[in-house]
């Protein structure tokens, strides 16, 4: 598998860890347990910082070049690119509700549960579709010349949570993942 696909796959593995922690937070919200709203906020901050702004842009570059191939699955990559935009909006919406909740605004617990559950469902569906359906197509159909074009277009940015040096901003979230 091409190193770019391996990096994207590793990003998915890392995001899955964060989504599992979010699932735990959701279970705690549902059961009425005390939850750490700071951790919940950091999860959303991380997703906005790296998956939404960097990871999805990398995928969109690859998908765009793949879409130029005559045998490409335009329906599939088009759907995934649209989902990138929708996921970003959903992350923003989730952030707004969590921030309202953190600042004691009247947001019903059931509403937060619904938003987190919907968000998780879309994230998992999107992630699984890429892993199960698209990455294999990209591996099979993209040629060395395509990968050269992709390499020159890729934004460079290390994952702020899972890179060799965790940014201070995500130290608490990293600590939570280590305990989870």
Domain edges within the chain: 3-179
Would you state the pLDDT for residue 98? Answer: 87
pLDDT for the residue 114: 92
- At residue 110, the pLDDT reads 82
Note the pLDDT tens digit of each residue in 52-95.
999 999 999 999 999 998 877 889 999 999 999 999 999 999 99
Mean pLDDT, residues 120-124 taken together: 97
The hierarchical CATH code for the domain 3-179 is: 1.20.120.520
Instruction: Say what the alpha-carbon torsion angle 146, 67, 9, 126 is, to the nearest 10 degrees.
Output: 170
State both tokens at 12.
Answer: 């998915």
For residues 171 and 97, which has the higher predicted lDDT (pLDDT)?
97
Quick: pLDDT tens for 131-167: 999 999 999 999 999 999 999 988 877 888 887 776 7
pLDDT in tens, 31-40: 888 888 889 9
End-to-end CA distance of the chain: 30
Q: What pLDDT sits at residue 157? A: 79
* Contact present, 29 and 115 (Cβ < 8 Å): no
Nearest to 126 by CA among 2, 11, 6, 7: 11
């Amino acid at each position: 598998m091409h190193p770019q696909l391996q990096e994207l796959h590793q990003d998915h593995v890392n995001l899955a860890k964060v989504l599992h922690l979010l699932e735990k937070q959701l279970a705690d919200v549902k059961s009425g347990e005390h939850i750490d709203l700071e951790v919940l906020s950091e999860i959303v901050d991380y997703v906005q910082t790296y998956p939404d702004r960097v990871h999805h842009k990398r995928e969109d570059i690859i998908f765009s070049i793949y879409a130029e191939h005559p045998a490409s699955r335009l329906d599939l990559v088009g759907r995934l690119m649209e989902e990138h935009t929708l996921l970003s909006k959903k992350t923003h919406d989730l952030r707004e509700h969590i921030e309202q909740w953190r600042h004691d605004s009247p947001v019903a617990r059931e509403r937060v549960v619904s938003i987190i559950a919907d968000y998780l469902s879309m994230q998992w569906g999107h992630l699984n579709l890429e892993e199960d359906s698209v990455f294999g197509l990209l591996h099979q159909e993209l040629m060395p010349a395509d990968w050269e074009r992709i390499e020159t277009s890729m934004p460079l940015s290390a994952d702020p949570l899972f890179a060799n040096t965790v940014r201070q901003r995500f130290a608490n979230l990293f600590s939570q993942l280590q305990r989870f």
